[in-house]
Every structure is written in C-alpha cells, then in structure tokens.
Structure 1
Amino acid sequence: MKKTVSLVLTGAMLASLAACGGSGAASTTAAASSAAAESKAAETTAAAGESKAAESDEIDPELIKAAKEEGTLVVYGSCEEDYLAAASDHFKELYGIDVQYQRLSTGEVQSKIEEEKGNPSGDVWFGGTTDPYNVAAKEGLLEAYDAKNAKHLIDAQYKDPDNQWFGIYKGILGFMVNKDELARKNIEEPKDWKDLLDPKYQGLIWLSNYNTAGTAKLVVNTMIQKYGHDDGIKYLTDLDKNVQVYTKSGSGPSKNVGTGECVVGIGFLHDGITQIVDNGYGNVDLIIPESGTSFEVGATAIFKGAKHPNAAKLWIEYALSPECVELAAQNGSYQFLVIDNAKQPEQASEFGLDPDNVMKYDFEDAKNNTKKYVEDVMNALGSAADDRFKTE
C-alpha cells in the first residue's frame, strides 16, 4: 500500500498441544509421554528465556526468584490493548508469572487508585501519558523504585525525579484528518491550533474526554502552557463549540477518522499511523501544528501498596528493556522509544515525525496543576459539560 501523508511543518517542526488421536493404553501412554516431553521442553524454553532476559537486562536473580514466588502480577494498561496483551504474555513467557491485565484509560486508572486509597487492586500501571501519573505521584499513590534499567533512558525528562514512574515511549500531539471528507465539503485542512476555532469546522472535530483521557489532559496543559492560563481556558471553551464528540480514550478520535465519522481528530500522531499502516486508511492525513505542539511520555509505574511488589519491580525492569518496548511496533503502536538499546519503529520516521522538534513541556507545572486545570476547563464550560463528558 502506498502510504499517503501530509505533514504541515514550519521550518523543521517538527509502536496446543497437538491432540493425540486414537484410543487404548498404547495411545494414552504415547499421549502422556508426548505431553511430558513438551512440558519439559516448555520449561527449558522458559528457563532459557529467563536466563537471557536476566543476563541482557542485568536483573538481580534474587528479584526474579522473589517475583516467581509471588507468582502473579496485575497490570492496568493504558496503551493500546494489542500491545498490552503482547507485553503481558511475553512477561509470563519469560518468567512463568501469571499476568492478569486490563485495559483502562489513564484517567480511569487514576480515578480507580484514588478510590482505593493505598490498597490497590492492581500492581503496576503500563502505558499512557504521564500527566495522570504525575497527579497520582503527587497524591502518594505510586511507589518509588530505583530501577537498574533506567540507566538506558536517553534523557532525564523520561523519568520522574523521585523514581515514581519511568518513560517507555514518546508520542507527538497533532491532528488527523479525513482528506476525502474535507475535499467533499470544500474545506481546507487546519494548519494550526487556532484554525480549529473556525466555524467551518463546527461538528467535525473529535477530542478525548478531559475527565478520562490522559491525552485530553495533555491538550489542556499544552494550551495553558502555550497561551497562558486564562487564554488557554478560553481557547478550550471556544474549541468546544466545534467539537462533535469527546471519546473516553485518547485514541478514540484516530479510530474514527478513516471511516469519515470523525473528520478532524486531535490526538497522538502515532495512532494515525496505525490507521494508515495497519488498517489501510490512505485517506488519513497527519498534521503537526505550525506554531508548535507538545508530546506525551508514555510511562510505567508501581502502585503504592501493590500486593505483588517483587513481581511489580521485575515488571519495571522488563518494561525498560528492548524485550518489551520493541513489541509496540510489532503490535500496531508506533511511538518513539526512549531507551538507548531499543530499535526505533521505522514507520514513525517514514511519516516524517521528529521526536525532538516539539515545544518544551513543563512537567512540573503539569504535575502540580493538572487536576486544577481540568476543573477550571469544566467549570468554564458550565452546563455544556453535563451531557457531553461522560465517564461511563
């Protein structure tokens, strides 16, 4: 498939056993023998994989032993479900630890662990932008851990200063548009953030929900950091006039652009790449806002009070290894990776995205004020927020 993409740039702007047939004692014995052989082979393979992982990632063998004794890990994942499933299954394959995982948006995870107040039903958080992670860290809901594999992070900005979360990927915020629908309506593509306020885009824009999606929280922080608090809030209330749908998850808009249900989606551009490359939507264009845009750091963290603390620590080491992060591109997630010993996804570069050409994002301001800023936006929207921002 020919990949068609339009990037709007200013200067350089800018992841069975085979059933033994037959019956009788002979076939039963053969089946038992075959099953035993295969079981032994599986154990040998798991041990070899574990040994390789421990050696390559320099993981303490005592940590692996303690994690295996706990035997279980519960993961709340805010990345795409295919990547979450692949990462969880591979962890089980490497270490023989049963992994129970559930896909939830970052806002949903944040709300869940706030309600559980230090007695979390999950052990680790995996994927999703760090703004909700920072809120959870400030509220004392994440466990600090001095991860050995954090030495592979390419920059200090990809780690919480107190080791409460660690970055695993980076995504660029922008617009995804259905070029066929825009052409049919004789409307040009938006080039910058303020273009989205034009009445011609009324009812054409999709954005994620400020209450449930880390992506939307990043949009709030980005507008406030670009325009100042009051003008940033005003921008978002003006934008609301043109928004047709607020989705629960940050990737929701991207999944509806190719079909034309959403004409202009705001979100991470790697989600748009997934729609073009994996789902064949050549009618999707990707746009980097001319005046600059921000980025997410997708992260992983341990919940304070985790029931399986050693398995949780082992997960962090695993999540900061090529064994884990390279599974992203193999499962339709094309974010830039932020550890120095992992192979970057070719698809992101092919579409002209540059992970370094983004605005300087104030993580500390986001950490201290995200919850307040979201409340400010919702208060400014007033009654308009009652019906359009569902959390269920």
Structure 2
Amino acid sequence: MSNLSRRNFIVGASAAAATLGLAACGGGGNDAQTSTDGQAADNSVGASEDLIKAAQEEGELIVYGSCEEDYLAAACNHFQEVFGINTTFQRLSTGEVQAKIEEENGNPSGDVWFGGTTDPYNVVTKEGLLEPYEATNASHITDPKYMDADGNWYGIYTGLLGIMYNKDEVERLGVDAPADFADLTDEQYKGLIWSSNYNTAGTAKLIINTMIQKYGHDEGIQYLVDLDKNIEVYTKSGSGPSKNIGTGECTIGLGFLHDGIFQIVDQGYDNIELVVPSSGTSCEVGATAIFKGAAHPNAAKLWIEYALSPECVELAAQNGSYQFLVIDNAQQPEIATEFGLDPNNVMDYDFEDAKNNTDTYVAEVMEALGGGDDRFETEDA
C-alpha cells in the first residue's frame, strides 16, 4: 500500500471466557526452555533470574486479554516460548473482565489482565481487586499518567478516540461527513451510527467520561441521550463498530482510530475515513495488571515485566494493533503517524475523576436512557 493510500484520513480543523473457553498458546510445555532461555529472557526482558526461576517453578499463567485477539495470542505465545511457562488466555472486553473479577472477589480464575482501556482497571483498583507490584521496567514508561501511582496497573499503549465512516455510504446517502462529536447528534445521521455498549466495553466507558469532561456532567449525559437517538447498534466490544464500516453495514462508527487503521491496512477497506474530532478528543491508556489473589503470583509479576518490554509491545504492530507505545525503549508503529494521529494532541483527561466515578456515570447514563433496550443486549463483536 502506498503512503498516499495509507494517509486516507481526515483531521478536524482545530485538533488534530467463560463461554469461549481458555485457549492454550503454542510452544513448549512447562519443562521447555528453562535456564538457557531464562538467561536470554533476563537480558531482553529485564526480569531478574530469581523472578524467572520462581515463575518457572509455578509453571503456569492465565491471561485475560482485552486487546485484539491476534495481539493477545502473539504475546501469550511468545511469553510461553521465551520462559517455558504454560500460558493460556481468554479474550474478553474490559467490562466483562471487570464484572468477572468483581464476582470472584479476591479469588480470581485468572492471573493477569492485558490490554483494554484503563477506566475499568481503575474501578477494580478502587475496589482493591488488583495486586500492586513495583515493576522494574516501569522505569521505561514515558509519563506518570501512563501508570497507577501505587503500581496497580501499568500502561503499555495509548490510542485516540475518534470517528470513522464509510465514504461510499456517506456519498450514497447524501449526508455530510462528520467532523466532530457534536455533529453526530444531527438528525441526518439517525440509524447510521454504531457505538459500543456502556455495560461491557471499556471504550464506551471512555466515551462517557470524555463527554462528561468535555461538556460538563449534565450536558455530557444529555449529549449521550441525544446521540442515542441516532445509534443503530451498540456492540459488545469497542472495536465492533470499526469491523463493520468497510462492509457498509455500519456507516459511521465511534471508537479507537487505530482499529480503523487495521481495517484499512490489513483488511483492505480503502473506503474508510478516519476523523480526529475538530474540537479535540481523548485517548485511552491500554494497561496490564495482576489480579489480587492470583494463583501464580511470580508468573504474574514476570508477565508485567515482559509486558513492559519491547519483546512484548512491538508484537502489537506485527499483529494489526497500531496503538502508540508508552515505553521509551520500544519502536513506535510508524503507520499511526502516517495516518496523521498524534498521541499528544488530546484533551487533558481526568483519570482520577474517571477512577472515582465511572460506575456512577454509567448508571446515570443508562438511567437517562430509560434503562436501555435490546440494543444493549447485543452479542456483536
């Protein structure tokens, strides 16, 4: 694909499982690649020999992942190959992981959480359901906002919230191309917009927090009520809208713009436009964390060191995940910049407010929507 076709975007004027089962990663079993590979991993991942040995003695790790499954599988597979630790994973939305960990209440069925925006991480942090860990590799995180001050979670990537639309459908329907969030409440878009489910998707929780911080509490909730009148589908996962724009099933979608890049570059949908909202937008911080009461605590700590290393995060762009990385010794995905995205060109997101109020805001939005309807029961991706 040429640089011209890759730069198929619009930047606004001023800004810009239980039901699925656990999947075993490939690679050797518990006895595979121990001392020799452990030393090699020590040099590349930055974990101590003592931690590697203790983790290998546990011999197992269970990962709940809220990033895209290709990246999740690649990371888990590589961790197993490097350390010889049997690694299983399940892909769940951040809201699903939050609900699962809350239900298990300190006796988690998984060891670590990988990927997905941090608003749900912050909720379970407040509830005492994550295990603080002082990670050696946290020294490579580029900004304090990309980590919890007490070590409950660490950021691994960041991505911009934005608008995506199908150029062909917008032209065929004779509607204006949206340039900002405020445009999306216009009645010309009735039935044309897809977003994600406030009850299940971390992306949707970020949307709520963004609008409340952007417009004010009451005005932000009213915006979401007005937007709801134009929304046809709420998908279970935040990436759901992006997956249906290229096919034309979804005309306009709200979500992370790196998911749109994947659809353009990897899936070949040149009919997708990306919009950085003209009045400014927010960004997610994708994170990783240890669950309180994890059955394999040393393997979990080793995972955190691994997740904060180039060994792990550079697998993202190799597997269709084009978020900006937040550690200083990793190579950034150049393609995100080619599409005009800038992780610094975002609003000053109040993570503390989100930490303290996300559940309340979700409840308030759902109440304002009359409790929701069958669109919030969707099983879409």
Match of 1:312 in 2: 300
Question: Are residue 50 (structure 1) and residue 38 (structure 2) matched?
Answer: yes
Residue 344 of structure 2 corresponds to residue 341 of structure 1: no
The residue number in structure 1 matching 2:280 is: 292
Question: What letter is aligned with 1:368?
Answer: N
The partner residue of 1:97 within 85, 88, 92 is: 85
CA separation of 1:189 and 1:49: change in aligned 2, threshold 3 A: farther
Q: Does 1:389 align with 2:376?
A: yes
Q: Match for 2:256: what amino acid? A: F
For residue 9 of structure 1, what is the aligned residue in structure 2?
12
CA contact (8 A) 1:4 1:285 kept: no
Distance in 2 (CA, whole Å) between partners of 1:53 and 1:177 is: 43
- 1:29 corresponds to which residue? none
CA deviations 1:257-311 (Å, max 9, x no partner) are: 0000000000000000000000000000000000010000000000000000000
- Are the equivalent residues in 2 in contact too, given 1:78–1:103 (CA < 8 A)? yes
Cα distance in 1 for residues equivalent to 2:247 and 2:126 = 40
The one-letter code sitting in structure 2 at the alignment partner of 1:200 is Q
Q: How does 1:365-376 map to 2 (within 5 A)?
A: 365-376=353-364
Aligned-residue sequence identity (percent) comes to 69
Q: TM-score, normalised by structure 2?
A: 0.93
Alignment match, 2:60: 72
- Matches for 1:5-154 after TM superposition, within 5 Å: 5-11=8-14, 13-14=15-16, 47-154=35-142
Aligned pair count reads: 363
Q: Is the 8 A contact 1:131 1:370 kept in 2?
A: yes
From the superposition, tell whether residues 195 and 265 of structure 1 become closer, same or farther in structure 2 (CA, over 3 Å). Answer: same
- Per-residue deviation, residues 154-187 of structure 1 (Å, max 9, x unmatched): 0100000110000000000000100000001111
Aligned AA (2:96): E
Distance 1:252 1:356 in 2: 25
Q: Secondary structure at the match of 2:88?
A: strand
Deviation at 1:52, TM superposition (A): 2.4
Give the structure 1 partner of residue 152 of structure 2. Answer: 164
Q: Which amino acid aligns with 1:3?
A: R
* C-alpha displacement of 1:50: 2.9
* Equivalent residue, structure 1, for 2:223: 235
Aligned pairs (5 A) from 1:161-310? 161-310=149-298
Shift of 1:43: 5.5
Shift of 1:146: 0.1
How many angstroms does 1:346 deviate by?
Answer: 1.2
- Structure 1 unaligned segments of length 5 or more: list them: 15-38
Question: CA–CA distance in 2 between the matches of 1:246 and 1:331?
Answer: 26
CA distance in structure 2 between the aligned counterparts of 1:264 and 1:273, rounded to whole angstroms: 15
Which residue in the other structure is 1:31 paired with? none
- Distance, in Å, in 1 between the alignment partners of 2:352 and 2:338 is 32
Question: Using the alignment, how far apart are the partners of 1:58 and 1:313 within structure 2?
Answer: 12
SS in 1 for 2:364: helix
Return the TM-score normalized by structure 1. Answer: 0.90
Larger Rg: 1
Q: Is the 8 A contact 2:135 2:304 kept in 1?
A: yes
Structure 2: which amino acid aligns with 1:390? Answer: E
Report the Cα distance in structure 1 between the residues aligned to 2:173 and 2:121, rounded to whole angstroms.
Answer: 40
- The SS at the match of 2:87 is strand
Q: Deviations over 1:238-272 (max 9, x none)?
A: 10000000000000000000000000000000000
Shift of 1:136: 0.5
After superposition, the CA RMSD in angstroms is: 1.4
SS state of the match for residue 188, structure 1? coil
